[in-house]
Amino acid sequence: MRLVDYLHQNARLYPDKTAAICGGDKISYRELSAKVLERSSSYRSGQVVPFRSSQSIDFLITYFAIHQAGAVAAPLEKDIPENRFKEISDILSSSKVPEGTADILYTTGTTGKSKGVMISHKTIIADAENLIEGQGFSHNLLFIISGPLNHIGSLSKIFPVTMQGATLYILEGMKDLEKFFQALDCPAQKTATFFVPATIRMLLTFSGERLSKYADKIDFIESGAAPLAHSDMLRLCEVLPKTRLYNTYASTETGIISTYNFNDGECIPGCLGRPMSHSKIIITSEGKISCQGDTLMTGYVNDPDLTTSVLKNNTIHTSDIGEIDEIGRLHLKGRETDVINVGGFKVSPSEVEDAAMSFPGLKDCICIGVPHPITGMALKLIVELDGGMRLDKPSLARHLKGKLELFKVPMLYEQAESIKRTFNGKLDRKFYNSQNI
């Protein structure tokens, strides 16, 4: 069965159940199924359909209608420039994609050029089953989506919700926290959501006490796309002591691989849990993470050379560095392309950033490498502080010396008005590298 087949099954089994809510609109499974069938006549089998994503019920109708027609969905950024939209459309119109391809998802390109990742219907079902098993998606769940639906972090939550006949609540981002709490107030036995780490920190900073009032209603929260600071993990456990809180290892290329409930009494930083039933993790001799299983991409559209450089023998080879502990849990240690060589010592900037995030008043930060005449490279920490605060460099350095080995403590410090992140929460390292700071 394809995901759209589960949608129609739900329409037969639970016709009046609310499938999705967005703003003041809601749609039942019967209505959604009918609209999908009606719109599917606009597409033809084998066609690749680029379209602008939106946080709307109409996105769901379009997405499922494309699948219903046997076509391939290529959701793009809502605000993508017209010339770029046309460029991608021209490429996709002449591209041959493997049979069984469901989606082409364009990566954010924070570490290189944007790439079109081909995802199969088989992969979508495997991702859904991994999430259902690993995080407990259920039929009576209301799942709140606030992130862009053209990226795997939020799009992938449509998969288990549809398979289980649960309900989606779609938000236009998290700038208006009041709307998020309105979603939590929606009648539902259980609620859950997915947040990037920057959103979790914002919630804890501005609405932690209010969030705690929903401790009995929030079934689980998943975090992904970037490492979650250990200080934020501990604080979230305090605010929501009964809620399952997950860190997940996933990417567009690998699919949903493993997850870890850090509200387990241990709250282990960097832990991403055991691989789920459709996935397998291998640590190479170089310490890199490789993934196998049914959740992997088919390849990059129109780029066989790039595909074979990453996907070999049904194995995705990542540049993430990790290890498996004695009970089979994955621990992420950083990314090879991010590692900074300081006088022969290899430093993962995410480790420095995690240590810095527990400094009082520090709102966000990024650790980068800058040229140095003696060590070749030196560490520089750029920080964003709470409004009105000024950076006390000696105090921050002492704080880091209490948490890190000496060679990992930055030599240079700078205060910035804000730290650049991509819209899906990742630190924009590409921007800082291009600035040659």
Range(s) of the chain covered by CATH 3.40.50.12780: 3-333
Burial (0-12, 13-18, 19+ Cβ within 10 Å), 136? middle
Q: Is the pLDDT of residue 201 over 50?
A: yes
Whose structure tokens read 């070999």? Answer: 312
Task: Tell me the C-alpha distance between 364 and 371, whole Å.
Answer: 23
Mean pLDDT of the chain: 93
In tens, the pLDDT along 293-347 reads 999 999 999 999 999 999 999 999 998 999 999 999 999 987 777 888 888 888 8
In tens, the pLDDT along 210-252 reads 999 999 999 999 998 777 889 899 999 999 999 999 999 999 9
Vertex 376, ends 372 and 381: CA angle to 5°? Answer: 55
**232 to 218, 236, 430: CA distances (angstroms):** 17, 6, 25
How many Cα atoms are found within 13 Å in the side-chain-facing hemisphere of 3?
Answer: 32
Tell whether domain 339-435 is in CATH 3.90.1580.10: no
Task: Tell me the C-alpha distance between 431 and 437, whole Å.
Answer: 10
- CATH assignment, 3-333: 3.40.50.12780
Task: Tell me the C-alpha distance between 209 and 296, whole Å.
Answer: 40
Q: What percent of the chain has pLDDT over 90?
A: 76
Q: How confident is the model at residue 110 (pLDDT cuts 50, 70, 90)?
A: very low
Q: Is the pLDDT of residue 100 over 90?
A: yes
In tens, the pLDDT along 121-171 reads 999 999 999 999 999 999 999 999 999 999 999 999 999 999 999 999 999
In tens, the pLDDT along 391-418 reads 999 999 999 999 888 989 999 999 999 9
Task: Tell me the C-alpha distance between 234 and 238, whole Å.
Answer: 6
Q: Which residue, 428, 431, 433, is CA-closest to 198?
A: 428
Q: Who has greater pLDDT, 287 or 426? A: 287
